[in-house]
Amino acid sequence: MSSSGAGSSLQVHVIRLGPGQDLVSSLQAFVQERKLRAPFIVTCVGSVTKATLRLANATAANTNEVIHLSGPHEIVSLVGTLNPCAHLHVCLSDGEGRTVGGHVLGDLDVFTTAEVVVGEALDLEFSRETDERTGFPELVVHSRSQTQKTD
């Protein structure tokens, strides 16, 4: 199925994480435990003490454009898909309100809380395949009825 134009019914899940928990691995465990096949972030509020982000000027050949953040940062936005190869982008603000954002690499350690609403497209399944145009694993969307016929 094409990656565009796919519609689906929606189911909503909520998870609250506490101090010291890793946001990314906790979300991936949540997805695996519930066997979610097309999960994505609806919204998230909270704070982190550590983040590693790949910046927008990175390419598949040069993925070294990375910043490491430490200290308290508010989660201003968290978006993305949570299939086994999660693709998440985050925007964080520091104690003076300065923001920075990028592609999440590695841990996002929760400072006080992370309240995350996760949606699941019930009629779809997400996977990733390397796109020769970008060099990155990109989202592929399948109809569940299509994947059930081939399972």
Label the pairing between strands 99-121 and 87-93.
Answer: antiparallel
pLDDT of residue 57: 76
pLDDT of residue 119: 97
pLDDT of residue 107: 85
User: Which pair of tokens denotes residue 117?
Assistant: 């609403």
pLDDT per residue as tens digits for the range 121-139: 999 989 889 888 888 888 8
The alpha carbon of residue 110 and the mean position of all alpha carbons in its chain are separated, in whole angstroms, by: 15
pLDDT of residue 1: 40
Q: Which residue has the tokens 């590693």?
A: 52
pLDDT per residue as tens digits for the range 77-102: 999 999 878 899 999 999 999 999 99
In degrees and rounded to multiples of 5, residue 29 shows phi and psi of: -65, -40
pLDDT per residue as tens digits for the range 23-77: 999 999 999 999 999 999 999 999 999 999 988 876 667 767 889 999 999 999 9
Q: Is the dihedral of CA 50, 37, 12, 140 positive or negative?
A: positive
- Give the number of other CB atoms < 10 A from CB of residue 116: 23
pTM of the model: 0.84
Strand-pair partners of 88: 80
